[in-house]
Amino acid sequence: MECNNISKIHDCYGCGLCSASCGKKVISIELNRDGFYEPRINEPDKCTNCGICLDVCAFNHEERALKDEEIHIKSWAAYSNDEEVRRKCSSGGIGFEIGKQLIEQGYHAVGCRYDIKEQRAEHYIATTVEDFVQSIGSKYIQSYTEKAFKKINRKGQKYLITGTPCQIDSFRRMIRKFRCEDNFILMDFYCHCVPSMLVWKAYIKMLEPNIGKVTYASWRNKFDYGWHDSWLMGMDGENTSKPVDWHDSYNLLIREKKTYIQSRLSQGDLFYKLFLGDVALGPQCEKQCKYKYDKSSADIRIGDLWGETYKDNQKGVSALVAFTAKGREVVEGLQNVTLVEHPFEVVAEGQMKQNAKAKETRTAVMYLLRKGFTLNGVVFKIVLFSQRVITKLKSML
């Protein structure tokens, strides 16, 4: 019999909503051999072929859950008036302010933190503002969502859900399917793509002989060089500092943290080179991202407001877009933030309109990553290989 489930879905968004929606709890989310999350059916005999996993899967549908006619855009430049929050967050700290203020109104906020034990980004449920501090800052790797999404109580409790646009599109499908949309506010962000987790593992493998087992990772930091040059990896390990205790007070956590390794994109940081160089992006991001520019299933979208208007600002300004009336209501009710309304083209200036395209070297990079090379090993081999090709070509001319 033909299976009416996600067993045939591969290289998908890995959003985890199939697993969270499965009444029989037979789906788990695991990394595939290329280092991207995808579903597995563990006990096929228990599957009743109800098809819910396919219904909620955004990857399985050409159309986004939120139809174009439901979208009424209003857009702002935005930032937190709390200087500490603004300094610590990736752009203007508006993502954190939205979560903080909704938590104060009784919502639970589902965000993404870095799990030191598992060395991965993962979604979790914050019920207090202190808890939500861990979500501050972009983690430029794919997030593991399964455990958190499974814990969400679809009836009764209200939630803010933050995530990549594909995670949010599936989430919208799920809450429509289970008729509980009123309890949810969905927030996504402008998303370049996610790189393979093999890149992240190879980066850690490269650093650990120096710093010991990683105890802290942060992706953006404006303290030293400002917002525009904030592409800075901050890493600490057992040899360099004590682990951060997330149960410390809010003020302590928001503070500046100096890390042992501060590796900048502008100085050739290898993680950013591979991530932003599009040599290890997921096939799903390249071929099936349907969420660029003004395409979304979220109520609210955040991002960096790159572009002319704020090019001299070094503190950080968020792009903030409300796609729905619910999103607009949340934004217009925010306290302690600065909002400047601009046309969408101004707010979205510099954002991608097309999907990222993999570079020719992707196949070779992924091969070396699968073989377990460290990140500098991968780059060394690729450079060596390119030089050999150039020398060969020259000798032929």
- Compute the least distance from the CB of residue 306 to ligand FAD, in Å: 7
Options 190, 227, 231, 271; binder of ligand FAD; rule CB under 6 A: 190
Q: Could you say which of 36, 37, 189, 373 contacts ligand FAD (CB under 6 A)?
A: 189
Q: Which of 192, 186, 105 is nearest to 141 (CA)?
A: 192
C-alpha closest to that of 145 among 127, 128, 120: 120
Distance CA(270)–CA(231), nearest Å, equals 12
Work out whether 95 is an interface residue with ligand FAD (CB under 6 A).
yes
Q: Which lies closer to ligand FAD via its Cβ, residue 41 or residue 172?
A: 172
Which amino acid, 16? G
Q: Does 186 bind ligand FAD (CB under 6 A)?
A: no
Using rule CB under 6 A, residue 221 touches ligand FAD: no
Q: Per rule CB under 6 A, is residue 35 in the interface with ligand FAD?
A: no
Q: What is the DSSP string of 244-282?
A: P-TTS-HHHHHS----SEEEEGGGT-HHHHHHHTTSSB-
Which of 5, 19, 90, 297: binder of ligand FAD (CB under 6 A)? 90
The sign one gets for the Cα dihedral 276, 278, 284, 289 is positive
Q: How far is the CB of 199 from ligand FAD (least distance, A)?
A: 12
Q: Could you tell me the smallest distance in angstroms from the CB atom of residue 204 to ligand FAD?
A: 16
Is residue 14 within the footprint of ligand FAD (CB under 6 A)?
no
Asked if residue 100 binds ligand FAD (CB under 6 A), the reply is no
Say whether residue 89 binds ligand FAD (CB under 6 A). Answer: yes
- Single residue of 27, 136, 365, 378 touching ligand FAD by CB under 6 A: 136
CB 298 within 8 A of CB 330: no
Of 242, 195, 197, residue with least CA distance to 216 = 242
How far is it, in rounded angstroms, from Cα 344 to Cα 349?
Answer: 8
Pairwise CA distance, residues 19 & 40, whole Å: 9
Interface with ligand FAD, residue 112, by CB under 6 A: yes
Nearest Cα residue to 181 out of 166, 159, 208, 210: 159
CB of residue 111 to ligand FAD, shortest distance in Å: 3
Which residues on neighbouring strands pair with residue 162, listed in sequence order?
Answer: 187
Q: Give the nearest distance from C-beta 372 to ligand FAD in angstroms.
A: 23
In the list 101, 143, 221, 361, the residue contacting ligand FAD (rule: CB under 6 A) is 143
**Token code pair at residue 378:** 């991968």
* Piece in contact with ligand FAD (CB under 6 A), picked from 35-43, 189-197, 201-209, 376-384: 189-197
Min CB(195)–ligand FAD separation in Å: 8
* Residue choice 59, 76, 96, 227 for contact with ligand FAD (CB under 6 A): 96
Q: Does 170 bind ligand FAD (CB under 6 A)?
A: no
| Beta bridge partners of residue 186, listed in sequence order | 161
356-375 residues labelled b (16+ CB within 10 A) or e (exposed): bebeebbebbbebbeeebbb
Selected range binding ligand FAD among 134-142, 199-207, 226-234, 262-270, rule: CB under 6 A: 134-142
Given 5, 135, 230, 296, the residue binding ligand FAD (CB under 6 A): 135
Give the residue with the Cβ less far from ligand FAD, 96 or 373. Answer: 96
Q: Applying CB under 6 A, which of residues 64, 108, 192, 222 lies at the interface with ligand FAD? A: 192
**Tokens at 67, concatenated:** 């139809």
**DSSP class of 321:** E
The reply on whether position 207 binds ligand FAD by CB under 6 A is no
- ∠ Cα 362 364 368 (to 5°): 115
Q: Which of 303, 310, 317, 362 binds ligand FAD (CB under 6 A)?
A: 303
Q: What is the DSSP code (8-state) at residue 305?
A: -
Stretch that binds ligand FAD, among 4-12, 139-147, 204-212, 322-330 (CB under 6 A): 139-147
Can you tell me the distance from the alpha carbon of 90 to that of 318, in angstroms, rounded to the nearest whole number?
Answer: 9
Q: How far apart are CA 286 and CA 192, in angstroms?
A: 10
Distance of CA 332 to the CA centre of its chain: 25
Binding ligand FAD (rule: CB under 6 A), the pick from 21, 91, 215, 297 is 91
Q: How far apart are CA 151 and CA 141, in angstroms?
A: 22
Site for ligand FAD in 325-384 (CB under 6 A): 351
Kindly list the residues in this chain that would bind ligand FAD in the complex (CB under 6 A). Answer: 89-96, 111-112, 121, 135-141, 143, 162-164, 189-192, 194, 302-304, 318-319, 351
